[in-house]
Amino acid sequence: KRLVVLVSGSGTNLQALLDEITAVGAQAYGAEIVAVGADREGIEGLARAERAGLPTFVRRVKDYEGREEWDAALAEAVAAHEPDLVVSAGFMKIVGKEFLARFGGRFVNTHPALLPSFAGAHGVRDALAYGAKVTGCTVHFVDDGVDTGPIIAQGVVEVRDEDDESALHERIKEVERRLLVEVVGRIARNGYRIEGRKVVIQ
Ligand code: GRF
């Protein structure tokens, strides 16, 4: 299976996928990353892709007339690589109708909280501020809401009294990277079933 990964930052989830595929081989894993896209230049996630010899592309919202034009351009850039599955690994933009029309049902996102709690761009900060005792990460299909698509898998992380946002986020990311690698591989190898909102992967 062909994966396109979208990033906006450090790309450690991307790196976890790259390392796994290198370790077990694309054949055994069931997928290879064919391109990495971003919404901004100069991020470590793109440097990781370049070091891995992968094609990259950047589509910045401000380069387009409006949001719809950006969304269509991003969809085109992704489609050019003929992905079977698109993975948002810390991609910090909400995609629109065009993108979802083309990739809905094969577009997964990872979020650093236990959805539906603490959706949005500050899930780690919000869980900490709320005083949650456990939080975690969620891999889900992207739908037309913000972090509202059907949940594929979740991992739990304890919140410690001494945690600040970055310490907690780092601990979440340790679980998140393993969860994403496992889920993407299982979907690539075995596909999935969905009944209403309930996703079943083998
Ligand atoms: C991840 O925790 C993701 O859930 C959140 O941003 C982080 C991205 O980390 N949206 P990285 O870029 O994969 O290191």
Express each pLDDT in 35-67 by its tens digit.
Answer: 999 999 999 999 999 999 999 999 999 999 999
Number of H helices, E strands in the chain: 7, 9
- Residue 168's pLDDT is 98
* Residue 111 known to be catalytic: yes
User: Mean pLDDT in the chain?
Assistant: 98
- Residue 102's pLDDT is 98
Q: Which of 5, 13, 151 is the best mutation target for the ligand 1 pocket, counting ligand atoms within 8 Å of the beta carbon and taking the most?
A: 13
> Is the Cα torsion angle 107, 113, 114, 116 positive or negative in sign?
negative
Statement: the pTM of the whole predicted model exceeds 0.95: yes
pLDDT digits (tens, 9 = 90+) for 100-136: 999 999 999 999 999 999 999 999 999 999 999 999 9
What whole-number distance in Å separates Cα of residue 179 and Cα of residue 79? 26
Asked whether 84 and 76 are in contact (CB, 8 A), the reply is no
Q: What average pLDDT does the segment 1-30 reach?
A: 98
pLDDT digits (tens, 9 = 90+) for 141-165: 999 999 999 999 999 999 999 999 9
Q: How far is CA 25 from CA 22, 114, 128, 182, in A?
A: 5, 31, 38, 14
- Residue 23's pLDDT is 98
Ligand 1 proximity of 111 Cβ (cutoff 6 Å): yes
**27 Cα–ligand 1 center, Å:** 26
Q: What average pLDDT does the segment 155-178 reach?
A: 98
